A and B are shown apart, each in its own frame.
Chain A
Amino acid sequence: MAFRDDVRRIRAIVWKDLTTERRSKAGFSAVAALGVTILVLFGLALGPDGKALQSAAAGALWLAILFASVLAFNRSYQVELDGGALEALLLYPGSRWAIFAGKLIANLLFVLAMLVIVVAVGIVLFAVRVPAEWAALLGIMMLGVVGIVSLGTFYAAMSSRSRAREVLLPLLLYPMLIPVLLASMEATKAFLLGDLLNASGAWVQMLSLFDVIFLVATFLGFEYVIEV
């Protein structure tokens, strides 16, 4: 019974966060536009040589997603803090981890929606040839986004309530995400350039391992982070 209550709580928080986003729209548009802008800047830095762009496409895509999504993580708590809603959320009965799960899923959906736009633009700008195994590529992107969002949602719970939150979140998050970024970039690159050596398999394992370890760690750690 208790578990079903938690599921209801999670759903309520996801719904609340997504409704807030849908009603304002400005937040999502701004973040997605930023992702696209970063892609353009990468294109300018690396281009206009087509070959160079193609081989750098995977890296540029992932960095654009990372940079843009960091803004989403801080926002997701900032909205609560502005209205003094986080205290109320904590006062409601129920498990703390349900709050984290709700925020995490809402952020996941937010980042995935942004990813669709950024990847679509990236395919055009970087002249990416979409591989036949595009479904597997989507799976890799999903794994990578789960890694980014789990740690991002977790660290934002701290950084958004500290001084200097704009600098603190990237400073904490980027070094921690290096395994996810390396694995996602390399696996994506392998797929985009035709995975002849089947190099992506090891990276997919690495991504799955990272996701499992840090999902467990952040779920366990969230209680300590949110209560104080």
Chain B
Amino acid sequence: MSPAPTPSFEPPRPLHAAFGWLVFGFFIFTQAYAVLTSPADAMMGHLQKIMYVHVPSAWVEFAAVGVVLFGSLYFLWKEDERADLLAASSAEVGAVFCGLTLVQGMIWGRPTWGVWWTWDARLTSTLVLFLILVGYLALRSFVEDPHRRGQWSAVVGIIGAINVPIVWMSVKWWRTMHQIQSNPRSLSPEYLRGLLLNLAAFTLLTAWFIWRRYEAARYERAAEHVSQAAALGGIDG
């Protein structure tokens, strides 16, 4: 084991709590705005409104995977522990939104298609992505040594992110050879405005979640460092 030099720990600069409240307020506003201003859909009625949480969840889930990829690459390049913690925090938040996307899709699918689940290309590849993220998080929880955990999960994160478009492509082909795929409907502007606002709100909200999780992870690591140093012969000062 390479004895990693104990980095002098500076606490992460906490984002001001006001930022969180602002983002949360903005999120409430965009949800209310989208729900109240959009007319009932000709075919789906008010069921359409789930789009304002469903599509943004799907978007931030992919953005979170992007952060995992970035953090993992940066960690392997610079061996900066913070990048590893950022990737881990992002994977957790990504998994949550991935799960939310699936559940929302099912809630929408039940009245629309008459079934909770269908092997639609988007549904199936989101499920696979969810499983890949779960694997990543499981790996992290099963490896004790922080350096090893960082290296391994970085490689697994990168390989997993590479696989996302391939999974999507394969599931899409698999579908098209069996059945016609459902097409996204073109959006009229009164729906689009609410959707774009919510995309912005979800992005900020996710950034907030990831940052808070990252701060917690930094403190956890700092505690580990201290206990390690204490075990190795006491802390001076």
Contact = CB atoms under 8 A, between A and B. Distances in A.
B139 interface: yes
Interface residues of A, number: 34
A168 B158 contact: no
Contacts of A163: 142-144
B129 to A, nearest CB: 8
Nearest to A189: B177
Q: Among A155, A162, A182, A206, which residue has the most Cβ atoms of chain B within 10 A?
A: A162
B163 A179 contact: yes
A214 interface: yes
Interface in A180-206: 182-183, 186, 199, 202-203, 206
A172 B139 contact: yes
Interface stretch (B38-46, B148-156, B216-224, B229-237): B148-156
A83 interface: no
Given A158-B152, A224-B76, A228-B2, A182 B142 contact: no
Contact of A176 (B76, B152, B160): B160
B142 A221 contact: no
B158 A182 contact: no
Nearest to B152: A158
Contacts of A214: 159, 162
B190 to A, nearest CB: 38
Interface of A: 151, 154-155, 158, 162-164, 167-168, 171-172, 174-176, 178-179, 182-183, 186, 199, 202-203, 206, 209-210, 213-214, 217-218, 221, 224-225, 227-228
